[in-house]
Amino acid sequence: MPGAGAGEPIPSASAEQSPAQASGQAPGKYDEEVDRIFGAGGPLAPAVGTFKPRQSQTEMAKAIAHAIGTQGTLIAEAGTGTGKTFAYLVPALLWGGKTIVSTGTKNLQDQLFSRDIPTVRAALRAPVSVALLKGRANYVCHYHLERTLQNGRLTSRDDVGHLREISRFMKMTNSGDKAELAKVPETASVWNLVTSTRENCVGQECQYYQDCFVMKARREAQQADVVVVNHHLFFADVALKEGGMAELLPAANTIVFDEAHQLPEVATLFFGTTVSTSQVLELCRDVLAEGLAHARGSPDWAKVVTVVEKAARDLRLTFPEGGTRLSLPQIPPSSDFFPALEKLKEELEGLVDVLEENAERAETLEQCRVRAVELLEQFKAWKAEPPKKREPKKAKDADPGEEEAGSGDAVLWVEAFASALQLHKTPLSIAPIFAGQRAGSPRSWIFTSATLAVKNDFKHFTAQLGMTGEPAVTWPSPFDYQEQGILYVPTGLPEPNTMGYTDAVVDAALPVIEAAGGRTFFLCTTIRAVNRVAERLRAEFAARGLAFPLFVQGERGRTELLDSFRNAGNAVLVGSQSFWEGVDVRGEALSLVIIDKLPFAPPDDPVLAARIEIMEKKGMNGFVHHTLPEAIINLKQGAGRLIRDVDDRGVLMLCDPRVISKPYGRRIWQSLPPFRRTRVQADVIDFFRQPKP
């Protein structure tokens, strides 16, 4: 049950323990004040119309207050409905000093800054200043907007209209944050032309430097008591030491990671390195524009960049279109990839030579030269020659190629997209890097999420971040899952790797969707499954005369899909990973969550394969110690979409028969909320027919 001990070396506690017991500290000065604030007569009740005292929320706030007071660390798993946001905001705003709150997504970041923090700050009458800080790609750049307006290189009518809207927006906005401009979709291609990157930012030489929205946001963050960031920005800036976080961290007294289960993946992304052919094409675009603007006539800039562009595109074409992910040892030595990579480096060297001869003509050309040098160094840093043919080796012999590409500190791999090829160097463990980040000045570190433990065991999460012996506590959800929901695993489904599995899932799901009156999230583990499920449901709804609106990931933006789903009241939404977490639909609009398969990582993931290889060399079981815990945490997120409030009722339909047939299945369902369980479809139909209590 929730709250059971997590086992060594991570101390665990239940909600029945006091925060002092949980954190190993004696009861402190904060408990009485926390009780008052979160009590029935406290300041939160009138500030939040729906607020009700919850013991788990109060105890979690006490534990966080103790961690802050002792400059300690707390790993806090809070079941859905605990109210973890207020539980960390109250002690952070009152006693946290300079606080950085990092969230999983920009949507949650905006919600914290615009709604949650102002509510708590007003209720507590806390005199704290708050700033929102995002990555530079979220802020319109004066310089690049002006250049795009002048050179008129837009090709689509949509882009022209979007650019007009952005230009109007710039005359009214104080922040420059593109999230404020709802008329232009976040995915619109024009944003790439009117925002800056670390590589193409002109910096202090820019004529708009004093008005720069990125610099303004950073200045405000420096001065604020509470700064709201997201995990991507936190790790990108720490890794690059670009400015934002690298300057904020030394002054921070408290760091709170909300949605902390995402940290290992995000940190791995940013402490690795990636270089892409698309970066080369962007550089060529800018070199051509700046060369013609400041050094027209000599050299022939079009000719200079054309050979580099061709080399980049030729490198991309050495792999099939899209979906290719290969580690270095998996690339055949005879592949065209290796000579194409050498050719690109050769052409980049020629571009650097030309830019060096002309860099003095303009600051922007010098900037292009710096970018070209950096790109060339990144391509050179990636292994250039094909891997040597492997000879049979003795048990004690080491394989240097294998060490570099798989079993050492990092794995080298390539990923092919429709129009770009990326070369990655990914650390196999971020534990030593993250431990180094935490080893600086004494401060409190709070890690919280609804999904950090596997069957109440935190070791998978803590091991990935290099934490041992830190207090880890579970506060169970206040929801009555036995009464509010059912876990339904249908009978008769084939194994997930068989042909026609997705169709069999749809066949099993249709009667349940009909009984639920729509009101369904159909969560899939692949985009291919999303498309097939949508195709089948569209046809079946029409054939059966079911008037359920059908919303499909990719057909519209995520926010727009969710708003339409909520407003419809009887819709079916089919989605993949982006709808498994961070989605909150309360009430009857969502009464059925269908999950097609257990969310195991794809077997062709080169980083996962290398990690498992290392673990198994150490005598560990890669599936048991890594693959399975990752899948369980992901599954808990998907299951958590169903019951979001005390009055919600619903069915979690888990279609994968392995949850019953495999020995590890028990560990999976014991990690899920304690719903009533059934394998009988009639039980589910009856549940939906019952009147709401």
Which conformational region is residue 469 in: left (phi greater than 0), alpha (psi within -120 to 50 degrees), or beta? left
Under a CB-based contact definition with an 8 Å cutoff, are residues 187 and 557 in contact?
Answer: yes
What are 139's strand-pairing partners? 177
DSSP of 430-454, one letter per residue? -HHHHHHHHTSS--EEEEEES---B
Provide CB contacts within 8 A for 504, sequence distance 6+.
493, 494
Alpha carbon distances (Å) from 164 to 183, 185, 186, 194, 211: 11, 13, 15, 12, 20
552-559 contact pairs (CB < 8 A, 24+) = 553/527, 553/578, 553/579, 554/527, 554/530, 557/185, 557/186, 557/187, 559/107
pLDDT band at 404 (very low <50, low <70, confident <90, very high): very low
pLDDT value, residue 197: 84
Contact in structure between 145 and 194 (CB atoms under 8 Å): yes
Helix, strand or coil, per DSSP, at residue 674: coil
| Closest alpha carbon to 117 in 49, 47, 34, 23 | 47
Residue 436 to residue 410: CA distance in whole angstroms: 17
With 0-12 CB in 10 A as exposed, 13-18 as middle and 19+ as buried, what is 383? middle
How much of the chain, in percent, has pLDDT values that exceed 90?
Answer: 54
Residue type, 484: Q
Please give the pLDDT value at position 693: 63
State the average pLDDT for the chain. Answer: 86
What's the CA dihedral at 345, 349, 352, 354 to 10 degrees?
-130
* DSSP secondary structure letter of residue 600: P
CA dist., res. 51 & res. 545, Å (int): 42
- pTM equals 0.81
Output b/e per residue, 452-484; b: 16+ Cβ within 10 A: bbbebbbbbbbbbbbbeebbbbbbbbbbebeeb
653 versus 454: the higher-pLDDT residue is: 653
Q: Give 370-376's long-range contacts (Cβ < 8 A, gap of 24+).
A: 371/199, 371/200, 371/283, 371/286, 372/283, 372/287, 372/348, 374/199, 375/275, 375/279, 375/280, 375/283, 375/348, 376/345, 376/348, 376/349, 376/352
| Amino acid symbol at 577 | Q
Please give the DSSP secondary-structure letter assigned to residue 116: I
**CA 382 to CA 424: how far, in whole Å?**
8
1: pLDDT strictly greater than 60: no
Partners of 231 in the beta sheet? Answer: none
What domains sit in the chain, N to C, each tagged with a CATH number?
12-135+217-269+430-475 (3.40.50.300), 140-195 (no CATH), 273-388+399-427 (1.10.275), 481-689 (3.40.50.300)
Q: What's the pLDDT band for 337 if we cut at 50, 70, 90?
A: very high
Q: Is 474 helix (H, G, I), strand (E, B) or coil?
A: strand
Reported as type and span, the H/E element at residue 509 is: helix 501-516
Looking at residue 49, what is its pLDDT?
72
What is 148-180 written as a DSSP string? Answer: HHHH----SHHHHHHHHHHHHHHTT-SS-BGGG
pLDDT of residue 522: 97
**pLDDT of res. 322:** 66
Between residues 249 and 242, the one the model is more confident about: 249
The whole-angstrom separation of Cα 174 and Cα 415 is 39
Residue 74: predicted pLDDT? 96
Strand-by-strand arrangement of the 520-523 sheet: 550-552, 572-575, 520-523, 592-595, 650-654, 485-488, 676-678
CA 430 to chain centre: 16
Number of H helices, E strands in the chain: 31, 19
The average pLDDT across 386-406 equals 37
- Distance (Å, rounded) from C-alpha 291 to C-alpha 304? 10
- Of 390-404, 452-466, 571-585, 668-682, the one with minimum mean pLDDT is 390-404
**Parallel, antiparallel, or unpaired for β 592-595 and 676-678?**
unpaired
Which has more pLDDT, 51 or 483? 483
Closest CA to 139 of 180, 110, 108, 103: 180
pLDDT digit string, tens, across residues 487-544: 999 999 999 999 999 999 999 999 999 999 999 999 999 999 999 999 999 999 999 9
> Does position 153 have pLDDT exceeding 90, yes or no?
no
For residue 613, what are its two tokens?
């290889």
Give per-residue pLDDT as tens, 304-322: 999 999 999 999 999 987 6
Q: If pLDDT is split at 50, 70 and 90, which confidence band does 244 have?
A: low
Q: Using CA atoms, how far apart are residues 429 and 192, in angstroms rounded to an integer? A: 32
pLDDT(267) > 70: yes
Quote the pLDDT of residue 5: 31
Interval 166-222: pLDDT, tens: 999 999 999 999 988 888 887 788 998 899 987 788 888 889 999 999 999 988 998
At 615 the pLDDT is 84
Strands 444-449 and 99-103: unpaired
The predicted structure's pLDDT at residue 188: 84
